[in-house]
Amino acid sequence: MSAGEIAVDFVYESDQCFVIRDIHPKAKVHLLAIPKAHAVTFNDITKENATIMAEIGLAIAAATKQSNISETGYRVIVNNGEDGGQEVEHLHFHILGGERLDKMV
């Protein structure tokens, strides 16, 4: 993706992050909010780079509004580390919605 190998559908972009549609959706609407600065896990957020979280929050708000799920509801998930199910070694946030979601656990 970063080198342009996979075609992506951008929903939102700012200087610090972007939101794309997941190529293997797990819900009617499945978006990924991704910071541009490299961070492997949520644990890599520090005081020095904490603005990433504010930018991700703004991106999620804008993308869910644009995708018409902001009012009906959505779920934001971060898979953190191997035991958390993280498969890609770059911090990203899954946004799922567009339909009634089952309970998590």
Instruction: Flag whether 43 is in a domain.
Output: yes
CA distance linking residue 70 with residue 92, whole number of Å: 19
Q: Is the pLDDT of residue 2 over 70?
A: no
Average pLDDT across the chain, whole number: 93
Q: Is the pLDDT of residue 42 over 90?
A: yes
Angstrom distances, CA of residue 89 to CA of 18, 33, 60, 64? 17, 14, 20, 24
What is the reported pLDDT for 39? 95
Burial of residue 36 (CB within 10 Å: 0-12, 13-18, 19+) is middle
Instruction: Flag whether 88 is in a domain.
Output: yes
What is the reported pLDDT for 8? 84
Task: Tell me, rounded to whole angstroms, the distance of Cα 59 from its chain centroid.
Answer: 9
Instruction: Flag whether 19 is in a domain.
Output: yes
Indicate which residue of 24, 30, 90, 92 is catalytic: 92
Summarize pLDDT for 67-76 with one digit per residue, the tens. Answer: 999 999 999 9
Instruction: Flag whether 91 is in a domain.
Output: yes
What is the reported pLDDT for 1? 45
User: In this structure, what CATH number is given to the domain that contains residue 74?
Assistant: 3.30.428.10
92 in active site: yes
Domain that residue 44 falls in: 10-97
Summarize pLDDT for 8-17 with one digit per residue, the tens. Answer: 889 999 999 9
Domain count, the chain: 1
Contact call for residues 93 and 78 (beta carbons, < 8 A): yes
Paired residues of 31 in beta bridges: 21, 95
